[in-house]
Structure formats: structure tokens, C-alpha cells
Amino acid sequence: MPRRLYNEEEEMSRKQIEDESEEMEEGEYEPEEGEAEEMYEDEDIDLIQKKIQAIEKLCSGGKGSYGDTDFPPNDESLYIDPLQPPDYSEKHPLVEWIRPQETFKDPKKDEDISMIKNDATPGDVKQGDLGDCWFLGAICTLATRSELLKNLFVYESLKYGFCVFRFFKNGEWQYVFIDTRLPYNKDSKTPLYAKCADQEEFWVPLIEKAYAKLHGSYEALNGGSLCQAMVDLTGGVSEKLYLEAPEVKEMIESDQLWKDLKKYKQQKFLLGCAKTVKEEDQT
């Protein structure tokens, strides 16, 4: 079975964060270990901001970088069942979890590392070994509308080692806290999964990690629906058209589909496309 490695470092515990939040507002409800996701579903933005401030205070006080105990740097976060990892795990038998600042040996490079440089673009998104092109395709589509993409970013601090994203899941916006440790191939020193085209940008792998945490593991993202991802990223509704469907073929032949697409584009609808590859067609 593949072995997973990660860097040991001084991390803050959830208990420390809970204690700090409690000092900020006496009597405020704090979750037990492992209850974080349920809490994020019900929290309003004020409580989210208080938790962010509590983490910032602990980090700035020399307590080290934030470490997420609910999504730890090991096989539990990579796979649905760590005892039966998927076949693609054999491509990277040794995995280490490292932070953006640790990807360069030159300390001066830390100053160049950022979540997003200039503006995010569809060309920033690069897929890794995970079969989550459906999610990354939705991210690419969203990157054509920067105001919608930025709506997902609640907070980010590479300095303190944590980010907060939000996704529209199960009919409501859910807030997801993650630390900035990302899985890398220990041998090649390259990211296992999604990455940015610019190696000094990290918005793509971090938003992928947050979405993986929301679903329980990275493997849970291995296959999905572009339409569903679009809903999760925007809180809107989606419509799917199958090009092979008889009614859609008629629209293609009459040129109505092209007219409709141009109209949707003018109205600033988000438009994406996906292709299903059958197993027998893969080479």
C-alpha cells in the first residue's frame, strides 16, 4: 500500500482556536472535535469572521501555521477508503504535504507567492491525476467572470496557512476552512492534483482542496457533473443540453442552437461544455 508522508511542523489545535473564539465572545457555541462541517452549514458570516480573527490572533502570536484536524494531511483526506486506494494512487507511491512557501528553496521566492496574480483566467487551471475535469471545467467557466469567482473566496492568508471558501451545497452557502498544505509527489516534487499554470499562484489547488473537503476526500471528486459543479459554485440553476438528443439535433440543423448560444452569451450566462469518454474509447 502506498505510504503517505507530510512535513512535521508546529500547528495550532482546534482546541486553541475554540478557546480564542470563546474569549472573544463569552458563551458562544463552539463545536466538538469533528463537528466543523455541520457547524459551517449553520454559521452566519459574523461568526465566520470571529473564527478567522481567532486563528489570525493565534498565528500572529507565534503559535505557528494553522493545521486542519478535520482534513488531515494523510490518506483519510486523499481517499474514500484509505485501506483500498484507487488505481491512480500507484502513480505516486510517496506523497508529502507541503505549503506554498515550502515549494521553493529560495526564501526570497516567498515574496512572489500569491493566491492570484493579477486576474484569474481559464488558462490558469491545470488538471492533475484526479478525474475532476468536471469541477475544473466549471472553475474555468467561472474564471471568465471574475466577480463570480471572487464570490467563493471568503478569506485567504498564505502567511498564516489557512483559507476560507464557500460553496452552494444542499440549498445553502456552506463555508469551508482549510489549511494550505497540499499533496505533492515526493519524488518529482510536483502537485498530485490540480495546479496553476504559474507555479507561484495557488488559487486552483486550494479551491480544489476546499471542494474535496466539502465532499469528504479528493477521491470523491473523481467523476462528476459539470452542471452540478456550476450550481455549487454560483448558487444558480443550470440546464443541460445533450447534443445527441433528437430535439437538440433539430435545433442544430435549424441553426436555432447557435442563435440561442449567442443570445445567452450576450445576456452573460455562464456557458460550458463537457464530453463523456467511454472506458473502451480510452487509450
Q: Give the domain ranges of the chain.
A: 3-233, 241-277
What is the predicted pLDDT for the residue at 59? Answer: 87
pLDDT digits (tens, 9 = 90+) for 128-142: 999 999 999 999 999
**pLDDT beyond 90 at 127:** yes
C-alpha grid cell, residue 167: 460553496
d(CA 92, CA 78): 12
Q: What is the reported pLDDT for 108?
A: 57
Ranges 29-33, 187-191, 229-233: which has the least confidence:
29-33
Q: Please tell me the predicted confidence (pLDDT) of residue 64.
A: 81
Q: Residue 111 — very low, low, confident or very high, per pLDDT cuts 50/70/90?
A: low
- Please list the helix, strand and coil fractions of the chain in percent, rounded to the nearest 5, in that order: 45, 15, 40
What is residue 273's predicted lDDT score, i.e. its pLDDT? Answer: 87
Render the burial of 228-241: b for 16+ CB within 10 Å, e for the rest. ebbbbbbbeebeee
* pLDDT for position 4: 38
Q: What is the pLDDT of residues 30-63, one digit of tens each?
A: 334 444 444 344 457 888 999 999 999 888 877 6
pLDDT of residue 278: 63
Q: In the predicted model, is pLDDT for residue 107 greater than 90?
A: no
Comparing 27-36, 89-98, 176-185, 186-195, the range with the smallest average pLDDT is 27-36
What is the pLDDT confidence band of residue 105, given thresholds at 50, 70 and 90?
low
CA–CA gap between residue 84 and residue 96 (Å, rounded):
19
Per DSSP, 31 falls in state: P
- In this prediction, residues 215-240 reach a mean pLDDT of 94
Question: What is the mean pLDDT of the segment spanning 120-125?
Answer: 94
Calpha distance 89→16 (Å, rounded): 34
State mean pLDDT over 192-196.
Answer: 96
| CA geometry: angle 162, 90, 70, nearest 5 deg | 25
Q: Calculate what percentage of the chain has a pLDDT beyond 70.
A: 79
Confidence of residue 91 (pLDDT cuts 50, 70, 90): confident
Band (219; pLDDT cuts 50, 70, 90): very high
Q: Which of 23-32, 104-113, 169-178 has the highest mean pLDDT?
A: 169-178
